[in-house]
Structure 1
Amino acid sequence: MASLLSSSSASPSPSHLKVLFTALAFVLSLLALLVFNKNKNKNTKKKKAALNLPPGPPGWPIVGNLFQVALSGKLFIHLARDLFKEYGPIFTLRMGARTLIVIGTAELAHEALIEKGQLFASRPAENPTRTIFSCDKFTVNSAVYGPEWRSLRRNMVSGMLSAARLREFRPLRSAAMDRFIDRLRAEAEASDGAIWVLSNARFAVFCILLAMTFGLHLDEDDIVRIDAAMKKVLMTLNPRIDDYLPFLGFLYYKQRRHALQVRKEQIETILPLIEKRKAILKDPTIDPSAAPFSYLDSLLDLKVEGRSAAAPSNEELVTLCSEFINGGTDTTATAIEWAIARLIEDPSRQARIHGEIIAECGDRPVDERDTEKMVYLQAFVKELLRKHPPTYFSLTHAAIQPAKLGGYDIPTNANLEIFLPTISEDPRFWSNPTGFNPDRFLTGGENADMTGVTGIRMIPFGAGRRICPGLGMGTTHITLLVARAVQAFEWRAHPSQTTLDFGDNVEFTVVMRRHLLAMVKPRK
């Protein structure tokens, strides 16, 4: 469940430019009102001027840098690199009503997440339209720092993501891996060996997380239907202009109405699964194939600090279950697409991983206990997450009170955005940092601690108090999917993609600019 790029840090998409220009005319008409508010705002302006914010590009009245970012013609993940070059390792963007503080070095990340971890452990305020999907920030990822968040996180970690709990789901993962290989084989047979990697990887991971969440055995039609509903939620959470300029919310009344409808569909899709699981817990004979434990089981009687409610409501259960599924699906699937591309790029990587599998397993299907002993495979996955973290920004942090970072003032509730590639590609810590070289972790002695505990060098799952709780599960799923894919097939370039494009794009996670269509040859 690697950390996901929050909507607050993503730049407005090109599809919003027409609305932007309409909004600009409206905004300019409001400038006249500033004359009347001059005296009223005088003290506020003096207070803001006294802040020693990090440097950044000058902005326009009211909208700040919002239009500059939107009209740059670049994805924000690319624009950020340019801004680091111009303003240094920490810079400020005023995005309408939001202030973004963006950092991109190991030292600043360590100061924020480790040295001052408690101070920067909260989340900023959100557009109220967004919080309908989080039940007013009642999730592990979105909750403000405090007792409610501690209760939710503690339950997820100890009740679901501990090493002991993850081991209990080995049979489930094994069955999902078999289904994954069967789907790949069927698609290859139907299309002369061609396979779309991302969609198949996504389906495999979704199956695993769905089963872990509800403990139910579902047929493929049900899985596809549930997946479609979950995708609608993610699409609805794409950033909008009123996230940055709340007073323009009236322009988005149709979108708000659509969001309410998507939320209704989400509840209607997930709630029957919750009710079915509740019935099975009361009478296991209803479905003998049901798993003995699920994430939902840990939530049904959850006591949350600071809340008078005895247990989460049905809507809150829908939200928490959806968070568990969505948090780990696209992030893991994205990693698999990048992994297969890197295996195709250099066939010797495939050969080394396949050699480890043969030595360890022979003809037996590889499982996660086997992968723990495969040194090169483990190094390959570490390099994969260093070079291709599923998101380039960790989830947005916010200070719980006015704070200092890198010698600058950080206002309460400002968005603190941590850019990961400039950390994991820092030439001070990595040799040939932009190259892909798993051997660096075998012979180079380079640090691969992904938790930040021994020092921040690469943090694809974040670090500190709000490190992604799914780190262990995510790496397990990535490693096992890669191993099973290599064991079953020899992967090579499709004739239409003989030159692989390692450019990136943002589709909720950071994906390949051109989705990978690969050719496979069954090994047996």
Structure 2
Amino acid sequence: MDAFLLREFGVAVLIFFISHFSIRLIIRSSENLPPGPRGWPILGALPLLGPMPHVTLTNMAKKFGPIMFLKMGTCDTVVASSPDTAQAFLKTLDHNFLNRPTIAGATYLGYNVQDLVFANYGPKWKLLRKLTHQHMLGGKALHDWAHVRNSEVKHMLRAIHECSKQGELVEVGDLLSCAITNMVSQVVLSHRIFSNKGLESKEFKDMVVEFMTISGVNNFGDFVPLIAWIDLQGVVGKMKRLHKRFDGFLTKIIKEHEKSSHEREGKPDFLDILMANNGEDPSGERLSLSNIKALLLNLFTAGTDTSSSIIEWALAEMLKNHNILIRAQKEMDQVIGNHRLLVESDLIKLPYLQAICKETYRLHPSTPLGVPRVASEACQVNGYYIPKNTRLSVNIWAIGRDPNVWSNPLEFNPERFLKGKGAKIDPSGVDFELIPFGAGRRICAGYRMAIGAIEYILGTLVHSFEWKLPNGVDLNMDETFGLTLQKAVPLLAVVSPRLFPNAYI
């Protein structure tokens, strides 16, 4: 009897899904939806995306156009793959796409959507954004913390210089992750949390990479909620285990910080300010401990990984195109010389370095599909109907490689940003040909810090050292997809000093 009932239940569920799917197809056929691929029953286009969805969606856009509509499980999804369509969604209709969809990553890694990245647009999000802007990521705050960046870059240079003296290979990603994490921690916690080299910092970087990789997985449960409890891919289980590790890390930080609060009387750091807002803000909003932990998680993951991956890609491209490295060094030698280190005030005089950074954003955007958004109401875009609750992905990777926008789009050529229209392109969300940090009101909160840090750190590395690949090692430029775009094979390099010895002291 039990087997009979189970079989009957299974048949009923199957009939429900097939009829529900068929009815939705009939209804959708009467609406002027954007074109897109036919997906599988129930799962929709999910099985079509493969391990590199940004590449798959780019190829699909060549067939279906710059606005595509896909059924992803039971969820409607629209993908924008050109500057014009990105502008239509992120500028013209920005007010309708301010919220994020509810997904497992935000729930199990982001303290149940309590963070700055995935929280719904509203009073709590505005408070988090205001505090980070005023005290850490805004123009005045960045100016005030310039000495921290300078100090940490010098720590990194000394570590690299020591590698060169010992004949050791430089693990570029690990050193960058350590340096940028320490920049963040000095502002947030008033001290460096990692030494330049060590097991602890390597383990933390591995956690961050795992965080970004698993956050970018197309989890079936996010798109077919009825089967989410099964966790077919084991994604939720991995997220829960990783969250436990990060929560232990953050809890330890907060407890140690509270014990030393008397040492910072009159000179609060960012965590002190956040803890003070654990009480009531003048706006009436209150930050919970979960809000504070979730924001710290944003800063120590997205805030560090995006910048370090861009710098690693840029160095890899220069090792692949050695003439670009030589030209960048020549520009810096003319402006700075070889008796001192690069300082941030030099950057405005280094247009070729800035062009290298822009070209890296174009070919290797840190978030290839951006962070998803969701339509609060139904709307029209370029004559197409976009239903309410449709999820939006902007294929930043595709825009950067669009032959209708860029000549020879697969070539790494910084000169395209030195003349004509290219010289005026700004990567801070105003020119939709190049939006590595997104655009609109939900642009990456740390884009100013990222742009400045990337130029400063990359410029310092290129100016201070000669860079070569180890003998017998071929340069691997393959990608690993996640919320951020990592190098599949981390960059290892042989370095040697190119400045006078006193410059490194």
Identity of aligned residues (%): 26
1:117 aligns with 2:94: yes
> What letter is aligned with 2:479?
D
1:81 aligns with 2:58: yes
The structural deviation recorded for 1:84 is 0.8
The structural deviation recorded for 1:336 is 1.2
The structural deviation recorded for 1:424 is 2.7
| Aligned twin of 2:256 | 276
1:329 aligns with 2:304: yes
Distance 1:217 1:456, change over 3 A: closer
Match of 1:210 among 171, 174, 185: 185
Paired residues, number: 487
5 Å matches for 1:93-172?
93-127=70-104, 130-172=106-148
Local SS of the residue matching 1:476: helix
After alignment, is 133-142 or 75-84 more displaced? 133-142
The structural deviation recorded for 1:102 is 0.9
> What letter is aligned with 1:173?
R
5 Å matches for 1:218-257?
218-220=193-195, 223=201, 227=205, 230=208, 233-234=211-212, 237=215, 239=217, 240-252=219-231, 256=236
How far apart are the structure 2 equivalents of 1:50 and 1:303?
51
Match of 1:319 among 276, 290, 294: 294
| Aligned twin of 1:481 | 457
| Aligned twin of 2:33 | 53
The structural deviation recorded for 1:506 is 1.7
5 Å matches for 1:14-25?
none
How far apart are the structure 2 equivalents of 1:507 and 1:431?
27
> What letter is aligned with 2:300?
I
Is the CA contact 2:215–2:483 (under 8 Å) kept in the aligned structure 1?
Answer: no
Match of 1:448 among 425, 440, 448: 425
Match of 2:443 among 467, 471, 488: 467
Distance 1:226 1:275, change over 3 A: farther
1:414 aligns with 2:390: yes
After alignment, is 298-307 or 310-319 more displaced? 298-307
The structural deviation recorded for 1:68 is 2.9
The structural deviation recorded for 1:130 is 4.2
The structural deviation recorded for 1:105 is 1.0
> What letter is aligned with 1:212?
V
> What letter is aligned with 1:77?
H
| Aligned twin of 1:5 | none
After alignment, is 50-59 or 253-262 more displaced? 253-262
* Superimposed CA distance per residue, residues 454-503 of structure 1 (whole angstroms, 9 cap, x where no aligned partner): x42211111111111211110111111112212221112333334x3434
Distance 1:307 1:439, change over 3 A: same
1:375 aligns with 2:351: yes
| Aligned twin of 1:196 | 171
> What letter is aligned with 1:113?
L
The structural deviation recorded for 1:312 is 2.0
Is the CA contact 2:177–2:205 (under 8 Å) kept in the aligned structure 1?
Answer: no
> What letter is aligned with 2:310?
A
How far apart are the structure 2 equivalents of 1:306 and 1:295?
15
1:357 aligns with 2:332: yes
* Superimposed CA distance per residue, residues 187-220 of structure 1 (whole angstroms, 9 cap, x where no aligned partner): 4445x45323222222222221222222223352
How far apart are the structure 2 equivalents of 1:425 and 1:39?
40
| Aligned twin of 2:477 | 502
Higher RCO by CA contacts (8 Å cutoff, separation 6 or greater): 1
After alignment, is 60-69 or 351-360 more displaced? 351-360
Distance 1:493 1:264, change over 3 A: closer
After alignment, is 514-523 or 386-395 more displaced? 514-523
1:392 aligns with 2:371: no
Local SS of the residue matching 1:323: helix
The structural deviation recorded for 1:228 is 5.5
Local SS of the residue matching 1:497: coil
| Aligned twin of 1:10 | none
TM-score, normalised to structure 1, is 0.83
1:262 aligns with 2:242: yes
> What letter is aligned with 1:244?
F
How far apart are the structure 2 equivalents of 1:60 and 1:250?
21
Q: What 5-or-longer segments of structure 2 have no aligned partner?
A: 1-5, 500-505
Is the CA contact 1:230–1:322 (under 8 Å) kept in the aligned structure 2?
Answer: no
